[in-house]
Structure 1
Amino acid sequence: MFKTALITLAVAASAAGAPARANQPVASLDLQRYAGTWHEIAHLPMFFQRHCVDTVTATYTPRPDGTIDVRNACRTTGGDMDESTGVARPVEGLNGALQVRFAPEWLAWLPVVWADYWVIGLDSDYQWAVVGGPSKKYLWILSRRPGMDQALFDKLKDDARALGYPVQDLVMVAPLD
């Protein structure tokens, strides 16, 4: 009887689902493979992206010193292309984590100008990426092409939801196939 109760409890616990994966950067990120242009599919609302409507891209270019040039661009509600440039640096001890700065170089010494940029999901062929951070206040779903398969998008969104991101607030900026 006791053995049957234990088995029933074990089955019930496993049916409830395994504990969610911790919100953390991917274990391995090859910055040379990550470099290049990414197309944004969706993002959580961000003040600095409030005027972006589509054609949102992020281009990463490695520098000899190990940092990365960052160029973000989008088409705005007014129809113009908007662009911002910054720099990213790897976080020591967290392979999939970067810190990004869009403030001028002379302010780089201030910790407040650096924002966490965690790659929390990554295709083995570097064809899609999901970017977030420890606060879960921001999230970007990125693709190497300007669209994404609906089923893949739904899976990435569900994975982000399981990590605690408010995916119900995602802003779509690219088409789904």
Structure 2
Amino acid sequence: MRALALILLLAGCSTQGSGGLFSVYRDTDVPIASKAVFAPERYLGVWYEVSRYPVPFQSGCVGVTAEYGLRDDGLLSVLNICRDTAGQETARIEGTAEIVGPGRLKVRFPSVPFVAADYWVLWTDEDYRTAVVGAPNGRSGWILNRTPDIRADRLQAARDVLQFNGYDLSRLEEF
């Protein structure tokens, strides 16, 4: 857990481009847009990661889940769980997300001081079964689904959203 927190802290301090801890997976000259009509209450619950861009803090993780809940103070609770190939939990991190605009969240983890990460919901299907998440700096991106398996049409739509927002699909990992 401490190693995960340290990596997240270093990631927040890294510089964009090839010299930093994170690779950049999108052309940052391409405009990026978050979901303009975002219903946070529909986003709550468990999401399964079906695709992601490689980030050091998720190295070796499969079967990743992210769970969002509503707190009394108006923030969202965040619980991310990493599993190994046998399905055993290997790491978890809890934090909060503040809604700072339509589809735009700032995520903070207490074990990673002074760092708030941009987490933009770029798209969801109409029923909030599939979501695409990214960051303006292009260092991260995920395709999430309400179940571990995703229908081919929704996966293709999610991939199209990433590409439209400047992401390099050749570097996307699918599980």
Same fold (TM over 0.5): yes
In structure 2, stretches of 5+ residues that fail to align are: 1-29
Task: Name the CA distance, whole Å, in 2 between partners of 1:33 and 1:48.
Answer: 27
C-alpha contact (below 8 Å) 2:122/2:161 kept by paired residues: no
Query: Whose helix proportion is higher, 1 or 2?
Result: 1
C-alpha contact (below 8 Å) 2:132/2:161 kept by paired residues: no
Normalising by structure 2, what TM-score?
0.76
What CA deviation, in whole Å up to 9, does each residue of 1:21-53 have, x standing for no partner? Answer: 941111122111110001111000011100202
What CA deviation, in whole Å up to 9, does each residue of 1:88-123 have, x standing for no partner? Answer: 1111xx211001012338x4xx3xx10000000111
Task: Name the CA distance, whole Å, in 2 between partners of 1:78 and 1:51.
Answer: 12
Task: Name the CA distance, whole Å, in 1 between partners of 2:32 and 2:39.
Answer: 20
In structure 2, what is the equivalent of residue 127 of structure 1?
Answer: 129
Task: Name the CA distance, whole Å, in 2 between partners of 1:159 and 1:125.
Answer: 16
In structure 2, what is the equivalent of residue 68 of structure 1?
Answer: 76
Instruction: Work out which of the two has the higher radius of gyration on C-alpha atoms and give 1 or 2.
Output: 1
Correspondences of 1:138-177 after superposition (within 5 Å): 138-173=140-175
C-alpha contact (below 8 Å) 2:79/2:94 kept by paired residues: yes
In structure 1, what is the equivalent of residue 109 of structure 2?
Answer: 102
In structure 1, what is the equivalent of residue 53 of structure 2?
Answer: 44
In structure 1, what is the equivalent of residue 67 of structure 2?
Answer: 59
Q: CA deviation at 1:79?
A: 5.5
Q: Which amino acid aligns with 2:172?
A: L
Aligned residues: 145
Normalising by structure 1, what TM-score?
0.75
Computed over aligned residues only, the root mean square deviation of the Cα atoms, in angstroms, reads: 1.8
In structure 1, stretches of 5+ residues that fail to align are: 1-20
Task: Name the CA distance, whole Å, in 2 between partners of 1:101 and 1:167.
Answer: 27
C-alpha contact (below 8 Å) 2:49/2:143 kept by paired residues: yes
